[in-house]
Each structure stands twice: as C-alpha cells, then as structure tokens.
Structure 1
C-alpha cells in the first residue's frame, strides 16, 4: 500500500506542480500563433481580401501623383539631320578666251562691278541680271540693226523712229528722189544721197552708227546706272550716251576706252556671289569651268527620305538646331524632284525607294535661314532640322506616365478613388498623349502611379 500511495502521491504532486520548462514552451507557441494571425490580417488588407464591411471606399489603391485631364493642342515634332553650308556650287559662265592670269581666293565675296578673274590680264566683271551675255554691245550700223520686212521708203533707219531720215520726191516726175539722213543719237555721220532711176548705194547706211536695241541693252544699262554712271537713258537702246558712259567705265577698269562691251567682259548673276573652287590655275586656258560660285547666304540641305518627305512643302516653317544647340527659325525654300538611291543600295536589283541595304531613297530639301546673324560665324557643319509632323487641336490629354495597361487589354487611367477607366489613345507628343472615352472628361483627376 505504501508504495502504491507513494506513487499516487508522487503522480499527484507532479500534476499539481507544473514543470517550468513546459510552461515556457507553451507561452512561446501562443506568441507565435498570435503573430501569424496579425500578419495574415495585414496581408489580406493590403491585397484587398478582407471583408467588404471594413473597406474604405475613398482609399487609394496605390500611391502616386494626381493630375487632371486637360484640353490641349498636341504637336508631333520630328527631327532629321541636315548640313549647313552655302548650297551647291555652280560654274560661272565665263566666256572670255585666253590665258587665266588671276583668280580670287575661295570664299571671297564678289559684288557688282568687281573683278571675278582676269584673262590675258583683262578683268572679267560681275554684273547683276538673269539674261546671259550673248553678243557684243555697242553702237551698231544700219546693217547690224536692219529691221525685218521691206525697207522704209527713202533710205536707212527705223521708220518713224528718232533715227529716221527724211525723203522728198522729185516734183519733176523724172523718178529721181533725194534723201537726207541724220543719225541724231550719235551725231557721227550726216549723209545726203541722190538716186536717179537706180537704187541708192547703201554704203553710207552700212557705216552709219545707230542704236543697238534689246533687253540685254536694258540689263547692261541698269547695271551701269547702278554703278554711278550717267549721261544716258536706261532703256533698250544703246546710244552714243551709253557709249560715252562705257568709255568712262572702261577707263576705271584699266581697259581701252572703246565704248563697246565684248561678250567675255562681263558675267551676269542674280546677285553678289561667293567664290567656290577654281577649276583651273593661273596660266591655264579660260573656260566655263574656270570658277564655281554660290550665293552668300548660308542654308541647310536635308536629304529627306522620299517615303517621308510629305512635310517638305515650300514655305513650311521649321526649326534649325545649330551644333551648339541654339534654335534658329528656317523655312523650306525648295524640294528636289529627283530621288537619289543611297550609296551601296540596290543590292537586290531594285531601284525604287526603300530598295537596297542602304535604306530608302532621298530627295534634297533646301532650308533657308532669314536671320543670318543668328548663325554667328559658323559657315558649315551638321545641324538638326525639326519640323511639325502632325497636330491635334483642342483634345483631351494626360501625361504619358498616367497610362496603365489593363488586364483585358488596351490602356486605361486610374482615377483618384482607385477605379480604372478604359481610354483610347491618339497622338503622342511632348510627353503627353491624346485620350478619349465615355468616362473621360476634362478636369477628371487621375493618378500617375509610382
């Protein structure tokens, strides 16, 4: 019995007196279980898996900046590479024959009345005009300026003109006529002739000097007047007054004062020129390839893709970004009408745009810059030309960063209350995007997620 009771007592004491190590283990299990419950609740709340009764409707789904949908004009700008310079060099139409004895330096600016070069130590002078020098100018003879059609009665000269003579019929009826002719413009000759029953000799008419006429005369006299020479009327008639002014002009150039202008003495251009490269050296024979020239205004040439050159329309305004980043306004002046294949292109035998490994064919687009001073001293170099591709006026727009991808596809916007609305996107420009949709309105606040 005693042994049995003792066992019972010991068992009872063991039950009544808890083991300290067991108590610590139980406390640890309770704490771990509580932490797990709290963590699960927190995760469920973050994922929106909690009960509907505890959700706050106005709570944002994600943190981020809130912006408004606004109305704006979006402009799509495209940049292409170009080259600043003076344009393509054009050969000067030098008609002087002989040996080149002097040439100007490349890049020299030649004004009206200045020497372009010297041939046989004789100056070739630049004048302004569009009509080429095609004949020698000077006081002509009756033979030189003989009008078409039957001659006027009574002798040489233009009928009814200031150089016409006067004719008097013989009142005796013998068929003889007497005529006097005076060249009033030149005062060079005054002749009398009598014909009796036979044609009058025309030797006097051939030696008499009369005004040469033509648009080339008007062009030359306009230049002579612009250079400060007077004593003649600027018109289509090369008179003795013109010849006297030419003699003074020739003396100033160091030329023999002949009063006549040879074909090779002048070269016409539309304005002041800038000398390009020389095709010959001093000592070589002169010719039309002796010198090249350009205009004096700097411009930009863009080799635009023939497939994407719709923007290149005459007078289209563009922005030229210089190598230092400064923007300068420009304007499209001309567009080439012939596409050029890229170098090394056409490997597949094709010749149209886009053929060959080199890319699409290009057309030259020339951009002029009105404010030449804004370019500074830069004469050539690579530049960037920026033009307007597309433009959308008065459309709803948001920053591109506000767009979110929807699970069902497409794009949407997240509103300030955490809901999502589907939108249709339009033009992207300057970091903004055109949006539209039934739920999109001006002033709607949307979130840019972080």
Structure 2
C-alpha cells in the first residue's frame, strides 16, 4: 500500500542557551519514541450532503368538499389526535396506522381497519372497549365520546375523510391549500419528524456502506455530530443515494458528511511518521535493535496498521 502524502512541519521554540545553535541541539538530542499499540482504525469518505427531514409526502383533502377553514403552520409537528386541518370548522385529526379510512365503520363492522381505529382510540385515552377488530356497541360508545371531544355530531359512525392516517408523527413542510377556498386537492405536504442527511456517495463504495455504518456530520455552524446510515438506496450509474439519521438540530441546509468506509479493529498501529522507507522498497520502523521491516495496512487518523512488530515495542519518531 502506498503511503499517503503528508506534510511534516518542523518547528518550535528556539533554545535560548548561549553558544548553542538549534542545529547542534537537534543533532545531539535523543529521538522521541512511540509505543506499538492496539487500536481501531477507521477511514472515511468525505462528501457533501443536505440536512433535512427526508422524503416529502402530499396530504390531499379527505372528502373534496366544504370550505377549508384552518391549516397548521409550516414546521408544526402533528402527533396522534392532533388536527391536520379543518373543513367548515370541523377538525380532521391524525391517526396512526397503515390503512386509510376507505369505508364507513359502524356497529357490526369487522377487520384490520377496525382494530386500527380501536388502537388509536385506546392510545388517545378512551376506554370501555377491546381493540379486537370488532366494532361493538362498546366501540360505538367510545367513538361517540371521541366525536364529542372533536366537536362533531355524535353518530358513533366513522366515515372516509373523518381522519388522516399516517405511520407516525409528521412535520408540516409546506402549505399548498388556501384557507377560505374549497377543501380539494393537495392541502399540505409533510415529512417524518426525524432529522436525516441525504448524500450521494461514490458508486465505488456501494459494497462498503450498509445500514448501521457510522458517520460524522459537520453542521452549517461548524459543530459536528455522530450519525448512522439508516437507508441505502438503489445505485445509479453515477452515485449511491444514502440516508443517515442525526440527533435533532435546528440547523438545516448543506452539510459535510464523513462516512466510515473501512474499519480495522484491534490491530497493531504506530504513528505514520514512525515509518522509514527501505532502500529495496517497503517500510520499517526503528527500534532499539535497529530497523525492523513491517508490512503496512490501513492508514487513518495519523496512524498506520503494521505487522512484523510486537505490542508494546518502542519505536523512534521524529521530534
């Protein structure tokens, strides 16, 4: 493996001793030493990325009629039971799940969508029924209490358009509807609430990056934060789309991402500047017994993986 290019700066405070030059001190001073030690070395690929909230999804009007009388603000986070919008001042709440309200649910209805509704009612604090997928009279009573709290007619019946269903909490990214107009078409767009970074990684690293791969993100304000790869997309001819999760931050925009593309754990390593070139090729380190040939491995963070030496051995490094 070729040794990476590096810049070595020699300098420091000059000796103030009378009659002694810095050159003569450097010639007589004993060399500094470093110890061969076990380390974990990681090498990363630095790329540009965008910090945001991931994919944006449209929210259409659920029934396509009535006047739109209220919308949330951009940046609002909507949780289970929160109002997504109002039509004719009637609240359209958010429920969690994977099945849209596609049919009318009433006494006697059965199915996974009924269980989903009952699970949401239970999570919102309504009691007196079992979330078993059977729309019983106890379910009807719970729905009526829910409708009362929403300010609706207490029919005990849930119709398509009475709520918006999503897989979890959502953050409002954009408003596309206009209050005072017919509630039709796309009313708003939202995202998940987890901060993510989207990057396009060089296709050469497709085999090295997978969910769970560690990374470091440098934010617009200059601070850094750890990250993990959460999703690897389908590679194209030019790039590999990668999504990373990061702790919640206020900063949004372009960031610099260093993705760990190679890690060597529990290997013997020395500082890079402990290496000396051998006349016949390759490298050695200088120990008390003289030059010891070594085989180099991964270079990372100012250290290099070496074999041919023993742990704890003292090797010379430039001062």
Question: Taking structure 2 as the reference length, what is the TM-score of the superposition?
Answer: 0.78
Q: Which runs of 5+ in 2 are unaligned?
A: 1-25
Deviations 1:393-436 (A, max 9, x none): 4544322112233444433444558x655443222122122334
Counterpart of 1:244? 141
Deviations 1:342-381 (A, max 9, x none): xxxxxxxxxx3xxxxxxxx223222223x54xx4xx1413
Q: Quick one: distance in 1 between partners of 2:114 and 2:62?
A: 18
Q: Quick one: distance in 2 between partners of 1:444 and 1:133?
A: 70
1:448 matches 2:310 = no
Counterpart of 1:143? none
Q: 1:291 aligns with which of 180, 183, 188?
A: 188
Counterpart of 2:245? 368
Q: Quick one: distance in 1 between partners of 2:269 and 2:251?
A: 42
Q: 2:96 aligns with which of 125, 128, 133?
A: 128
RMSD of aligned alpha carbons: 2.9
**1:312 to 1:427, Cα distance in 2 relative to 1, 3 A:** closer
Larger displacement relative to structure 2 (254-263 or 222-231): 222-231
How far off its partner does 1:89 sit?
A: 1.2
Q: Quick one: distance in 1 between partners of 2:150 and 2:92?
A: 10
Q: Which runs of 5+ in 1 are unaligned?
A: 1-59, 140-210, 340-351, 353-360
Counterpart of 1:88? 55
How far off its partner does 1:117 sit?
A: 0.9
Q: Quick one: distance in 2 between partners of 1:415 and 1:72?
A: 17
Counterpart of 1:228? 125
**1:284 to 1:309, Cα distance in 2 relative to 1, 3 A:** farther
Q: 1:106 aligns with which of 74, 82, 104?
A: 74
Larger displacement relative to structure 2 (291-300 or 385-394): 385-394
Q: Quick one: distance in 2 between partners of 1:111 and 1:415?
A: 64
Q: Quick one: distance in 2 between partners of 1:239 and 1:444?
A: 77
Richer in strand (by share): 2
Note the 1:262-277 alignment, pairs <5 A: 262-277=159-174
Q: 1:259 aligns with which of 156, 172, 186?
A: 156
Q: Quick one: distance in 2 between partners of 1:445 and 1:242?
A: 76
Q: Quick one: distance in 1 between partners of 2:118 and 2:281?
A: 77
How far off its partner does 1:93 sit?
A: 5.0
Q: Quick one: distance in 2 between partners of 1:327 and 1:61?
A: 42
> SS of 1:320's equivalent?
strand
* C-alpha contact 1:68 1:443 (8 A) present in aligned 2: no
Q: Quick one: distance in 2 between partners of 1:337 and 1:251?
A: 48
**1:134 to 1:410, Cα distance in 2 relative to 1, 3 A:** same
* C-alpha contact 1:303 1:362 (8 A) present in aligned 2: yes
> SS of 1:246's equivalent?
helix
Counterpart of 1:343? none
**1:305 to 1:135, Cα distance in 2 relative to 1, 3 A:** same
Richer in helix (by share): 1
* C-alpha contact 1:218 1:236 (8 A) present in aligned 2: yes
**1:260 to 1:399, Cα distance in 2 relative to 1, 3 A:** same
Deviations 1:123-168 (A, max 9, x none): 22111111111111123xxxxxxxxxxxxxxxxxxxxxxxxxxxxx
Q: Quick one: distance in 2 between partners of 1:73 and 1:265?
A: 59
Q: Quick one: distance in 1 between partners of 2:51 and 2:164?
A: 28
Q: Quick one: distance in 1 between partners of 2:80 and 2:196?
A: 22
Corresponding residue pairs, total: 292
